[in-house]
Structure 1
């Protein structure tokens, strides 16, 4: 059944209202994206220095003496934890589906047995997804802001690292979407714990590739040097800072990708609304023209009938 003119007119008004919403959401996401990108520039200067110190420690094999006692037992069952960073809201395009799909593929490859891993969810979408599927969600956080501060992440890091120190899990990976540009992102899964030379080098290779001015090169560093007051004291300060920097950087990166995805999705929705409005207006004008033509024909026919 053909739509009436009133139906088409109502659809035009409804689509215009939706367009106003999507356009406003696009503007908000763009503002958030610009803010977090400016925030990330300042963070990169700090984390570069932390990486340099950790690279020295890794090259000198000091990190090998930093395993918690709960992890030293050869008989301890290996348990892997995956930090999954997702959004707390929808309307972010394929952002959540990409990170969840990438995480599932990574888990299937490394720990196919569901009893051997747990999920540490940062973001409601990931937490809800894995809870519905019966996964072991050992930790979740839904309070990370759109432009997260370092203080926010410190609380998350302390909770997650204390779980590691208590032997709740033996290996830790962080899974998130890496921001490439405003229209694309790439899934990443990086090992955080335990820290060893290979995992740190791998992390630096991934994060520093393509970054101009990066001066962290483990293989060219001096292996032996004196430490004051002691290696243990230095590790006690630097290791938590490195863990915080990696996690904070991943959250910043993921949030940047989230805002970019949201902005792109809302722009696409706005463009689709424009196309639909144009199509409906054309349909409405044609229907109105046909109605006018019909009225003129009826009037002309009636006039001719009177003249006969």
Structure 2
């Protein structure tokens, strides 16, 4: 049985941990409000970009070969961009994404495609280096829990565009956690190249006739790289909000568990102390009777 000194040390240690987890929960909650606002604000803009490019794709149909950023390459190399966090202590936030990525890779390879992986975020990079070391294209550091700047998405978009235009990859899919609420983040697979239109969008509206200025080909050349950057930006914002929500929930659970552990240790401490006092009283009484 642990001594009173050991129990006091354990209680003090758990109390210290509870202070840390409680502080981390409050920091995550503070960040979550800002990140959630940014993620929700980005959704309409990203959806509008997809709709606009869908209209341009319809307008340019039959006018020759479509750009690779719209139609994809003719090969079978599929790039999976995985967005994770740089830090842990966020429950199953990263583990769920890694599990989803393994399933996606297995499905794509079963379809005869060659898979390459570009992890963004230290946790995802470490996991992919262990699981798929030969499939890594590169490793990119995430935002480190800070607010996502568009420059980060622009650089990622430029890197992916370079891989596409140089013929190293033919299709691109991004995997990230879509923010639902503080307790729910849904692993999401979204195809970027070739361009896809969400099922809930009205597909018939894209067949309408529009006049574009400048012409459709010039607009596509300008908008397609921008669209990839915008979609990455929206995904990074979703991931950032989801990370803070997952961390807030995980730290709240850790704080509650620490409180329960403190109560249990305190009970053991009191029982041990009472037992020691009782034992000492019995020894004193026994000694007095012997005298």
Please report the TM-score for the alignment, with normalisation by the length of structure 2: 0.90
Q: Is the 8 A contact 1:25 1:266 kept in 2?
A: yes
Deviation at 1:113, TM superposition (A): 8.7
The residue aligned with 1:213 is none
Q: Is the 8 A contact 1:55 1:217 kept in 2?
A: no
SS at match of 2:89: coil
Kindly report which structure 2 residues correspond to 1:127-276, keeping only aligned pairs within 5 A, or say none: 127-133=125-131, 134-146=133-145, 147-195=147-195, 199=196, 201=197, 204-205=198-199, 217-276=202-261
Q: Is the 8 A contact 1:79 1:168 kept in 2?
A: yes
CA 1:73–1:27: 2 relative to 1, 3 Å: closer
Could you list the per-position Cα deviations for residues 32-67 of structure 1 after superposition, in whole angstroms to 9, with x for gaps in the alignment?
211101222332343344234223224435598432
CA 1:68–1:51: 2 relative to 1, 3 Å: closer
Could you list the per-position Cα deviations for residues 107-136 of structure 1 after superposition, in whole angstroms to 9, with x for gaps in the alignment?
101124998111111111111222223232
Deviation at 1:304, TM superposition (A): 3.1
Deviation at 1:183, TM superposition (A): 1.0
The residue aligned with 1:111 is 109
CA 1:150–1:73: 2 relative to 1, 3 Å: closer
The residue aligned with 1:84 is 82
| Partner Cα distance (2:262, 2:119) in 1 | 40
| Partner Cα distance (1:99, 1:72) in 2 | 25
| Partner Cα distance (1:144, 1:153) in 2 | 10
Q: Is the 8 A contact 2:179 2:241 kept in 1?
A: yes
Could you list the per-position Cα deviations for residues 131-181 of structure 1 after superposition, in whole angstroms to 9, with x for gaps in the alignment?
223232112211424320112211111111111011010011111122221
Q: Which moved more, 1:55-64 or 1:15-24?
A: 55-64
| Partner Cα distance (2:227, 2:72) in 1 | 22
- Pick one of 118, 121, 135 that aligns with 1:120: 118
Q: Which 5+ residue runs of structure 1 have no aligned equivalent? A: 210-215
User: Structure 1 stretches (4+) deviating beyond 6 angstroms?
Assistant: none
CA 1:167–1:106: 2 relative to 1, 3 Å: same
CA 1:64–1:240: 2 relative to 1, 3 Å: farther
| Partner Cα distance (1:84, 1:137) in 2 | 11
The residue aligned with 1:34 is 33
Could you list the per-position Cα deviations for residues 88-117 of structure 1 after superposition, in whole angstroms to 9, with x for gaps in the alignment?
111111111100100110110112499811
| Partner Cα distance (1:47, 1:115) in 2 | 28
SS at match of 2:138: strand
Please report the TM-score for the alignment, with normalisation by the length of structure 1: 0.85
